[in-house]
Amino acid sequence: MLQFSNVPAARLPQTGLTLDNNTLYGVANAGGISNAGAVFRIDTGGTGYAIIHSFTNREGSAPAGVVLVTNNIVYGTTLNQGTGPGGTIFRLATNGANFTVLKNSPMP
């Protein structure tokens, strides 16, 4: 059974998953190493669950959803933190490598 209850595991998964081949990608806005949220993947059969990225506040926190998975790259957003308090737009490889903040969003 998949559980989202123990830190550093992902907690509070958000609605919506993105399907790429036979793998689902999603985000949880709590848990992970810094309790700032995580990106996870799981096979459609329920196996292969893995956290592919744990957020630090500097990278953003409280990820809000996976926007797109294309060409082995996951794109998404966070609601909070980054270098400004307004969240981030990020990308990373589907294997968790090469995490990059594309944009920090300042608060108005």
Domain-embedded: residue 100? yes
Counting the structural domains of the chain, the total is 1
The answer to whether residue 46 is domain-embedded is: yes
- 58 within a domain of the structure (yes/no): yes
CATH code: domain of residue 100 = 2.120.10.30
Domain assignment of residue 58, given as a range:
10-104
> What's the CA gap between 75 and 66, in Å, rounded?
6
Residue 1 placed within a domain: no
| 8: preceding bond cis by omega (within 30 degrees) | yes
d(CA 94, CA 6): 23
pTM for this one?
0.85
Is 57 inside any structural domain?
Answer: yes
The rounded distance, in Å, linking the Cα atoms of 91 and 43 is 20
Tell me, yes or no, whether 5 lies in a domain: no
Q: Which of 15, 16, 20, 17 is nearest to 70 (CA)?
A: 20
Question: Does 3 map to a domain?
Answer: no
Q: Is position 64 within any domain?
A: yes
pLDDT tens, the chain, 108 aa long: 444 544 467 766 777 899 999 999 999 887 788 888 899 999 999 888 889 999 887 887 788 877 789 999 999 999 888 777 788 899 999 999 999 999 888 766
